[in-house]
Amino acid sequence: MSPFQWLLCGMKRKATLLISFIVLTIAGLSSCYKMLPQMPDSTNTLCGPVDLSSAQSVLFSQGNDQFFAIRTAATGLGPYFVSTGCGECHSSDNRGHPFTILTRFGQSDTTGNKFMAEGGPQLQNANLPGYAPQQIPSGATSSKMIAPVTAGVGFLEAVPDSEILAMAAANLTNPDGVRGHPNYNIIPSYVTPSANAVPRGDGKYICRFGRKASVYDLLQQVATAYNHDMGITSSYMPFDPYNYLDQMAPSSAGTPEVDNTTLNSVVFYCRCLQTPNQRDTGNATVKQGGQVFTSIGCATCHQPTLTTGYSPIDALSYQTFSPYTDLLVHDMGPGLDDGYTEGNAKTSEWRTAPLWGLGLAPGVQGGNIYLLHDGRAHSIEEAIMMHGGEAAVSAGRFNNLSASDRSALITFLKSL
């Protein structure tokens, strides 16, 4: 990415962070600043677009501005919210920082969320003055999640259901006991199933976005983010999040706080983000590590290549790309079971995290690395050792690798 492109990418966020940094440094509060995520290193951000026509570039740039815009009460923020803009949590379009972690609660099986009347499914832990802070109702289990990679999500969206089903079918005979399945979930009425959707016949569709793969497409993801993360209503989700502790009736649907044109430009921005591409592909150690990755069974779930179906955006149409996910959910064992779920995933089941952008993560997570759904793993090795359940056999093989294979594998992972 050229310095000019980088400047365009998240300009407002960068300006805000820079000003906060200067103010805090001058005030001598550097110890306090350490708690804040540092400014992403310019060479590590993934905010650039795929090849677009000039008209598409204009729309991408509008979406980019909105993605990094900061919302205030005057522009619809709240009254309950988690953060003030998409770019606060997705500042580099790579993995987010635990500083902006969010909490979901209220669903522990496939029967749906029992705490919707008490503010479920998401805790809005910030509120405008005059409103009571939300709390997790007693009896509700909860889960914390940090922001996943947003670069390349348009490619993930364009993978046909048939390809996801083929990967699940192949799992049925996997000798390591890998048994991934798609997350079938109800989709909201404003979402139009894609032409190649393979529904199950009970009104549920294969979903793919989010840590639990419970969200159907990018429109649903973005409309929900505006609503649940920022308290911003749209024609798609016309009601603000509600706090039962305030004893107020849920707000009536007024004029949407984000119009469809703006919201759809943000969908377009996400959809047209480039894929994070592997570096150092010619390096012998990287090649050795890639072979180890496949030979010890990592690639069963972290699928090295997927292919998109037709897309009206040429750059996304019939493309082979390397996300290192199968878009299926897998039982990761009791260590990663936090008692909360979405759709038909069990509480211990998580979508295979795409591994692209992994080597760039420390550059955007403030020099450290925070992996797995809640950022609990502080190194790549730790993340692998926390794999249980269906991934236990593969993680066991990792543990028994020779020093040379182990270090080659890590070098390979850092090249992603």
Using CB under 6 A, list all residues that contact ligand HEC.
67, 82-83, 86, 88-90, 95-96, 100, 102, 145-148, 150, 153, 178, 209-212, 218, 221-222, 225-226, 229-230, 266, 270, 296-298, 300-302, 330, 332, 336, 350, 352-353, 355, 371-373, 380, 383-384, 387, 390-391, 394-395, 398
> Least separation, in Å, of the C-beta of 127 and ligand HEC?
14
Longest dimension (CA), the chain: 63
Contacts 24+ apart (CB under 8 A), 263-267: 263/222, 263/223, 263/226, 263/234, 263/236, 264/219, 265/59, 265/62, 265/63, 265/66, 266/63, 266/66, 266/67, 266/86, 266/222, 267/63, 267/218, 267/219, 267/222
> Least separation, in Å, of the C-beta of 100 and ligand HEC?
5
Q: What's the CA gap between 403 and 4, in Å, rounded?
A: 42
> Least separation, in Å, of the C-beta of 332 and ligand HEC?
5
> Least separation, in Å, of the C-beta of 231 and ligand HEC?
10
> Least separation, in Å, of the C-beta of 330 and ligand HEC?
4
Complex with ligand HEC: residue 39 or 336, whichever CB lies closer = 336
Alpha-carbon dihedral sign for residues 112, 114, 116, 122: negative
End-to-end Cα, the chain, rounded Å: 17
> Least separation, in Å, of the C-beta of 30 and ligand HEC?
25
> Least separation, in Å, of the C-beta of 152 and ligand HEC?
8
Q: Is residue 147 classed exposed, middle or buried when 0-12, 13-18 and 19+ CB atoms within 10 A define those classes?
A: buried
Residues 6+ apart with CB under 8 A from 356: 149, 151, 152, 275, 276, 277, 278, 322, 323, 324, 416
> Least separation, in Å, of the C-beta of 28 and ligand HEC?
29
> Least separation, in Å, of the C-beta of 188 and ligand HEC?
14
Answer whether 347's CB lies under 8 Å from 341's CB. Answer: yes
Complex with ligand HEC: residue 13 or 302, whichever CB lies closer = 302
Look at residues 301, 411, 314 and name the one whose alpha carbon lies nearest to residue 359. Answer: 411
> Least separation, in Å, of the C-beta of 80 and ligand HEC?
12
Q: What's the CA gap between 133 and 146, in Å, rounded?
A: 21
Q: What's the CA gap between 333 and 178, in Å, rounded?
A: 12
Complex with ligand HEC: residue 36 or 54, whichever CB lies closer = 36
Answer whether 319's CB lies under 8 Å from 373's CB. Answer: no
Scored b (16 or more CB within 10 A) or e, 334-349 reads eebbbebbbbbbbbbb
Q: What's the CA gap between 372 and 264, in Å, rounded?
A: 29
Answer whether 305's CB lies under 8 Å from 320's CB. Answer: yes
Neighbours of 141 (CB within 10 A): 17
| Tokens 């150690």 belong to residue | 285
Q: Is residue 305 classed exposed, middle or buried when 0-12, 13-18 and 19+ CB atoms within 10 A define those classes?
A: exposed
Complex with ligand HEC: residue 309 or 335, whichever CB lies closer = 335
